[in-house]
Chains A and B, each alone.
Chain A
Amino acid sequence: MAVTRRQLLKMTGIGSAGVAATSFGALGFDLAFAEDRAAKYKLEGVTATPSICPYCAVGCGTLVQTRDDGKGRQIINIEGNPDSPISTGSLCPKGAATFQLAMNPKRLQQVQRRAPGSDKWETMSLDAAMARVTELVATSRDATFVERTADGKLINQTTGIFALGGATNDNEENYLIAKVMRMMGVVRIENQARI
């Protein structure tokens, strides 16, 4: 492994004055550095995809900059989109942190299941989770479904399931929440939009 310039300086000290002078003298110094920075410029070769800040409802435009280094497109940087007439490139601290919302070592990447009464999470495969969710939804729906009220009114209502959330979801996602849940008879469908 190559010795860094810093290590070199520290190691060589006074006795290596000549070396230091030649390596880092006058002009060469800054030019080398500038080349260094340019070479390390993190937006080199990125794809910029216009996107939207997921926090408040102003709807600021962002640019999601990604690069495929062989493992699929990875997010390199997210900053304001100057083309947006709403935000003209600026962001608030939350918007400016959108990158860290995605690229965060604490972000979940696998399904976790807590068994009834358990004191811990266990990892579950995505397919098993979907099968289990389907089972739970259908079972509770069938068990709490009321076709008619006591006075005979047709209501087709699932009384025991509550779907909550979605104000950071896309319109398409909300549309499917409303559609899939309603077709299962669920009417307890609510959202941050209420509160």
Chain B
Amino acid sequence: MTATQKGMFVDTSICTGCKACQVACKEWNQLPMEDQEAVHLGNAFLADSYDNTGHLSATNWRHVKFMEQFSDDRRTQSRWLMMSDSCKHCVDAGCLEVCPTGALFRTDFGAVDIHNDVCIGCRYCVGACPFGVISFNDKFDGTTGGPHMVKGTVNKCVLCSDRVANGLGTACAKACPTSSITFGNLDDLKRLAASRIQALHARGQTDAYVYGWDLKAEGYDRPSDGAQDLKVVGGLNVFYLLLDKPGVYGLPAHDPGLPQKNILPNAGGALLMAGVLGIAGVASFRKRRMDAAAPAAVE
């Protein structure tokens, strides 16, 4: 493991909910629209604030959530939260743990990528992801859905691994007009997050905290009072600055931990399949997970 850990910091306090990230993701990855017929026939409107894609899916690798928080009088509370969601590229990634074929794998940059031509569509990973990120595609193939679509396999954000391998950042972060999404080296991102927490707390926004890492425990300077950071699944390579409880954003409020404990049958299957692939493969996955969890200063 020589390359620097890359990731994204998503500062929801400056997200305007424009969805440029969603489209930039689709443009770069040439992802299809989810359901043209539903749109044309009027079955796609969700009546859920400004959200009409609803969730992450095999074709929507990014999804902007909208949370309206208004009291009756609109004075006591009056805010509209937005958050651009995607795969978090967890340090302890449940999907990686359970994937029997190695279709899911850790890249040199710390991302969890998918090898669709190795995915057998077992969907263990779908259940193993605590964030509901991975989705099964039973609709599109390469002709109807573009280069990432292999019918009967899973899809999710791959942290633009082709861009990153060629020295570019992710498409979503590049497009983001307000730099709510920042791509970069994980340690730089943590430093940026700490400075944003400081600035917001200084401005009186003391409900701002980081979801994914405990910045103080990581050695970064951030205020001790107000909302405190939350580290989950060994850390998230794509992590967030939030202004309310995780549940408000549809995120687990407590560290869900690794999936073997709660989805044993799948894990069993994974182990069985891992046996098929040989011990070396499993060792490799484990090693990658541990490397990712280590401080990322190695070059």
Contacts and interface: CB of A to CB of B under 8 A. Distances in A.
A75 B24 CA distance: 16
B174 A79 contact: yes
B175 A80 contact: yes
Interface residues of A, number: 40
Contacts of B175: 79-80, 90-92, 95-96
A43 interface: yes
Q: Is the interface of B mostly helix, strand, loop or mixed?
A: mixed
A21 B281 contact: yes
B116 A6 contact: yes
Interface string B123-157: 00000000000000000000000010010010000
Interface stretch (B158-166, B201-209, B212-220, B290-298): B158-166
A42 interface: yes
Nearest to A31: B108
Contact of B276 (A20, A26, A89, A93): A20
B283 interface: yes
B171 to A, nearest CB: 7
B117 A5 contact: yes
Interface of B: 18-20, 22-24, 27-28, 101-102, 105-108, 113, 115-120, 147, 150, 153, 161-162, 165-166, 171, 174-177, 179, 275-278, 280-281, 283-284
18 contacts: A6-B120, A9-B120, A10-B120, A20-B277, A21-B277, A24-B277, A24-B281, A26-B284, A34-B108, A34-B165, A37-B161, A37-B162, A38-B162, A38-B165, A78-B27, A93-B19, A96-B175, A97-B23
Given A29-B284, A30-B106, 8 more contacts: A17-B277, A30-B107, A90-B175, A90-B176, A90-B179, A92-B18, A93-B24, A97-B27
